Structures are given as C-alpha cells and as structure tokens.
Chains A and B, each alone.
Chain A
C-alpha cells in the first residue's frame, strides 16, 4: 500500500529514493553486529540453513520459508526467539516441517546475528536487499516493425537523421531510452526535466491577441511569457477585454495522446529501432 497524494511526489520518487531514509523500523534501527560474528554466522548459515531457506534467505527449493519477512526473525533480539525453533524444529500449519538442529547456542546466536544483518539491508517499502545485479534483456522488440511505426507516427516532429541521430549511442540504457521516447521528455536529461513548453495564444473579444510560452493554465487564469520575455497573466472570466479563446499549441500533445494508443509490442519495437540508431 502506498498513498501518493500528489503527482509531484510521485515524479520526485526517484529523487526521494536517493536520499538516505531514517531507520524506520527495529530491523534497521538495531546497532550493527560484530563483523566477525556475522562472518561466522554466514558460514554456519551456508552449511546448516541455506539448502532450505535459500542463499538469500528468501526461501529455498526444499520448502523453507522466507526468513526476511518471518515474524519470528523480526521479533528476535539476540537469538532468543530463533534458538528454540532451530533446536526443537517446527511443524507449521499447512507448511513443511522443520527438523530439529541441535546446534550450540553460540552458533545459533551467530546465525541469528547474520540473519539480522541481512534483514537490516532490506530496501524501503518491504523490498528485499538489492542482491547481485541480474542482467535482464529489455531489447525484445523488432526494429524493422519499429522503423515502420516510427515512420508512420513520429516523423511529423522527429527525424532519425536529425534530432534522434545517434540516439541509440547517446542513450545506451534501454530503459532510459524507452522512458524518454514514450514520455517525450528531453533525451539525456533527468526525468524531472520539464517537457517542452507549450505555446499559447490568448484571443480577446476585441480582436486582439497575445502569444507566448505557456506558464500556467487552469479554469481561471492563463499566464505566458511573450517572445520579448515579458510575463503576462489573464483572467479567463470576467476580465476586460474578455477572452474569446485560448489556443494551445502543445508539442507534447502527440505524446499524451499516444499513451492510450501505444501497445506494448509497438513500444518495444520502436525502442529496438531507436536503440539501433547509433
């Protein structure tokens, strides 16, 4: 569950993740254990526990449960809750029985310390520790089909030999490339960078008009900066002279209307095509 309450918060999520969050829960608040004890616990875990509970503690093929979200582990302070389970085994309802493992308490405490050190490295919002980097292939599209799509839908604004020349080399990260081209945010700039500004023409009932770069638009006001650099704002109702019309030429409108039409296959195809523009 998460209750984002503004668009801005969501957009800035990447920035927020970069900041170090305060240690929110006991698993992150506990003081780090003795590295030597953790190292010994790690070796013992590999011998005694790994086959059932997995190398990463997230459960294994032999049916041992995920320890990183186990209430017993999360409530344990220094082995006192984990030890009885190891020594006596466990027969959880609906689960696979765990056999007793008569280890010395000292060993169990070391294993516990190791488990706690892994739990403490979990990521925010319940996500597991980062673990080893997994290489995933995002480049699954058909670039020939992608070229066809691009030429049919994108070339009124973009060109493979113009603004997008070499884009596959400039944005070698496929995920970034795809995010950038679908959203229309400037290639190679951070996600939070504003889209290209819209141009607005405010037309008045007396026949005059004012154009400029759109600053803000709601049901009540429209504001712009003229080509001369002057900021102007207008009240959309009840002002004198009265506004007859507000024309917006938004270069991003093509992208906005694209979202609802774009299939995942088309998206992957265009990504494959753009990735090939080295």
Chain B
C-alpha cells in the first residue's frame, strides 16, 4: 500500500475510497493523465507520444545510468502459474520475446509474450505471478502488451481470446473469443481501455476482413464491431473495390493500438494492408479503408473520417503504425494534429479533428514505389514496382521503412522520431493468375541488402528531418523510441546497443551493449526513483541512477 501511494493514479483517487483493498489500481479516468509517474497504457498515455515528463534522467545525469536489475522471463509452468486456455497445452510455441509495451503501475510491471503474462516487481525484477494460456494453435508472432481497467488486466491471445485476469493475482476473471480461429485470424494487439470500453483488434493472413471491436471490460460483452472494409451492398468505400466479394476478403486488419483524443471522443488508428497482399490484379481500385488512418467515434464505433496513406498497396506495407496526437502550429495558427510515419516510407500530418491533409513527405531515403503524390497528398503507386515476373527492385524491402516499432514525439521540440530502414528486395511474381493469389502468396522476394539505416527527428510542419543520424552498419529498425522532457531520446541502434541521444540534435550521449532492443524503451518512477526499462528478446533490463 505504501508503494501504491507513490502512484499518481491511485494518489488521485484513493482518498475518495473507503476500502483501500477495493481501490481500483487504474480507474479509467486515470488514463486521461499525461505520461508521468506510471505507464498504465500501451503508449504511456493516449497521445502515442511516448514523451515522459520525469526529470531525474537528463542530459547531465544520463551518463551515470546503471543497471538496477536484469531478469529473464520464465515460461515454465510452476506452482505460482495460473493456467487458462482452451487448447491442450501441447502446441509448440516459439521461445518468448518481449515485443510490445510493458505496463507499470504502483511499482509492479506487467509483461507479455504470446501465451504468457507476468507481473514482476519493478524495483528488482522478481516475479509476482505468471499466467499461461494453453493455445489451440495460431501464429505466435508477438504480443504487443496488455491494458488495465480498474483491477483487471486485459490481453489478447494468439488464438483470438480477450482474457481478463485479476491484476493482483493473475487469477482469471473471464475470457471471450474475439475473432474466428477457423478463418485463421490471430491476435497480437495490446488492448486499449477507454472509459468502460476495451478496444481490440486482430490480424489475419487469409484474406479475411479486418475490424476493430469494443468490449465491456467488466463482462466481456461485445459493444460494437466496425469493419475496415465494405461488407454489405451500399457500404461506403465499396466503389474502390471491383466487387463485394473482393472487399469482404480485402484485409485491413487493425493489429496495433491506436491513439485517443478525449476532446473529440475519436480513437485514431492505422489499418493494415489489403489482401491478397501482392497480387492487386484481383482488387483493382484504392481498396478503402485498408492502409489508412481512420478516426472512430469510440462510443458508437462509427467512422468519423479516414485518410488513406497507401492507396492500393501491393507490398504488404501496413499502415498499422500507432499515430501520434499533439497540438501544434501550422501557418501561424494553432491546430490539433495527428502524425504518422507509415511502413511505405511516407510521413503524414493531418488535422486530427477533421482528417484534413496538411503534410506529406518521403522519409525513406530510397523509397521508390510511388510515381508522385496525388492532390490529397497520398502517394500514387507505380504499377511497375509491383511484383513482376522478371523481378522489380523495390525499396523499402518487405518489412518497410518502419514497422510496428513505436515512434515518439517531443512536443517541446516539435520533432517526430522514427527509424528509417532503406532496404531493397527484388520482387518476383510467381503466380500470374488473373484471379490473383491468396494471402501473402503469389510472389517471392530476395533481400539484396540495405543502402543505409538511420533515425530521424522529423519536423511535423514540413515532414523534413531536423536531424538524421545514419547508423554506421547494423540492421536498421527493431527498436521503438522513447523521448523525455529533459531533451533525451532512447532507442536501440540495431547493432546491439541501447543508446541515449540528444532529442534536439541526435548527438549520442550514452550507450550500453545489451543486445538488440526488441520493444520500445519505457520509463516510470517507483519510490521516488526513475527506472528505464527495455526488453531484449526474453530478457528485461532496468536502469536507474544511484
């Protein structure tokens, strides 16, 4: 209880509650606070900025950072393990890896990997409870994290269940199926709690339609379900597909957490690629609302606006990246804005209330798949850079210029930070069938190499980098980004180093070689001390100042 009073979240509300035992750890109202002491939701707060206001770690002290603890997540079933799930427990799941956000509230961190969730002491890394989900199968590519609603911790499983457990013990409250396993959906997204709603998305590689859903975090009852492709005659966007059948198999999965604007009640999220992924011949048209930023009224699930960042994608370049919300100035006028750096190599700034386009820039140095920009600022795809029988040399490579790795935004400096990976592949069409292929089939690619890899601080007003640091070698992205009110930026360099940079200039200030960062660095304060925590595969490292 002493620890909990350190938390702003509980500190705000605890006095009003009679029984401390029943005090909600994270009442929904607490999630409206800007990122400071705790890290209670995927991006720290609803803005997606990953901008911490903690100040102990600053330009002067950063070189004194030292390891507080290191811990390997333990997947073994033990006495403390709570077991759930609908499977037999015999599916060979890959080794664990922390490829999403951890949450921290009141001195406890919550860590996920597919089929596993752990609560650990934020001060020393000791495990407090472990939940293991016996899966029915499915694609085990990642878990992007969890969400907290009052005293419930919520997370998705690869075989498409939303699970609610008691945040204090890991004991299961309920689980509910959120997508059809038979249709080969798989689920990785960190749920997002907004008020008494929990938003969930899913993934799919077999031409099934993408959707965003809202569930009641108390009971697991469905509140609404909004498809990201037209599903019925007369649905908006159907004119951008050759047929309803094509649209209903058109993808647009929502597999990363979005951001939320409490002023407008709009949840803004990116959507995934159209399907079949590489053979656009069977889905001529722009394929709305795939590869788009969409703003959803969180109460009703209705789409308020959309902006397609990649019309008629044919490269598996999702636009699922978490967008960043901030207030800025455009042409001397204060504006409410949203920016995103898409996997296709283009950066966008829009009005987040209306979706009005403001800026497009190409942030991938060698990005070569578009002919130019349309009047509305969207890139116009060059059909010659689709998969062809003799091969087309395309940049970025399949992984994109960026991918799911969290970007960051520093509102004091007005800079949007993102990694830039300038890979090339030769893309061969192996199935020229006029019906198109299925899923990610019908092509073969060969990664020829990387022209360069870098990190940028992009001026949101122009889309141009204020600074750009090219990594001498290294494999490019992999790590997300954290920035701070003390003018710092933390990330991985792709060469095994965890680095601190000057957020205004990109100057390198500190590093430690702990291996390639597999999530985004995060920071929080426990007992008056600021911790900086990162995942490296199945390891967690937490740094402090003594």
A residues lining the B interface (CB < 8 Å): 1-8, 10-11, 22-27, 29, 54, 58-59, 65-66, 68-69, 71, 74-75, 92-95, 122-123, 125-128, 134, 136-141, 175, 178-179, 182-184, 191, 195, 216-220, 252, 255-257, 259-260, 262, 264, 267-268, 271
Contacts and interface: CB of A to CB of B under 8 A. Distances in A.
Given A5-B518, A58-B433, A126 B366 contact: no
Residue of B272, B446, B476 with most partner-chain A CB within 10 A: B446
B304 interface: no
B183 A125 contact: no
A65 B245 contact: yes
Given A3-B404, A58-B433, A69 B438 contact: yes
Contacts of A252: 449
Contact of A128 (B389, B403, B441): B441
B115 to A, nearest CB: 13
Given A22-B91, A94-B244, A127-B441, A8 B493 contact: no
Nearest to A60: B435
A4 B450 contact: no
A66 B279 CA distance: 15
B442 interface: yes
Residue of B244, B273, B423, B475 with most partner-chain A CB within 10 A: B475
B431 A138 contact: no
Interface in B423-465: 423-424, 426, 428-433, 435, 437-442, 444, 446-451
B182 A26 contact: yes
A71 to B, nearest CB: 6
B265 interface: no
Nearest to A218: B495
* Interface of chain B: mostly helix, strand, loop or mixed: loop
Contacts of A26: 136-137, 181-182
B184 A27 contact: yes
Nearest to A126: B439
B371 to A, nearest CB: 14
Contacts of B440: 2, 125-127
Contacts of B136: 26
Given A11-B447, A127-B441, A182-B426, A93 B471 contact: no
Nearest to A25: B184
B205 A220 contact: no
Nearest to A28: B137
Contacts of A92: 245
B435 A66 contact: yes
Contacts of B395: 259-260
Contacts of B444: 175
B449 A256 contact: yes
Contacts of A10: 397-399, 423, 447
A235 to B, nearest CB: 11
A267 B388 CA distance: 13
A183 B99 CA distance: 30
B243 A259 contact: no
A262 B449 CA distance: 13
A93 B183 CA distance: 20
A1 B438 contact: no
Nearest to A128: B438
23 contacts: A2-B440, A5-B405, A23-B137, A24-B184, A29-B137, A58-B435, A65-B245, A71-B183, A75-B183, A126-B204, A126-B438, A128-B431, A136-B432, A138-B391, A175-B428, A218-B496, A218-B497, A219-B472, A220-B508, A256-B449, A259-B395, A259-B451, A268-B390
Contacts of A8: 475
A256 B451 contact: yes
B511 interface: yes
B366 A259 contact: yes
B390 A141 contact: yes
Contacts of B518: 5
Contacts of A93: 232-233, 244
A199 B162 CA distance: 53
A260 B391 contact: no
Interface stretch (B138-146, B328-336, B524-532): B138-146
Contacts of B403: 3-5
Nearest to B184: A25
B253 to A, nearest CB: 5
A271 to B, nearest CB: 8
Interface string B219-263: 000000000000011000000000111000101010100000000
A70 B393 CA distance: 34
A161 to B, nearest CB: 25
A252 B249 CA distance: 43
A6 B398 contact: no
B497 A219 contact: yes
Nearest to A198: B473
Given A58-B435, A69-B249, A27 B182 contact: yes
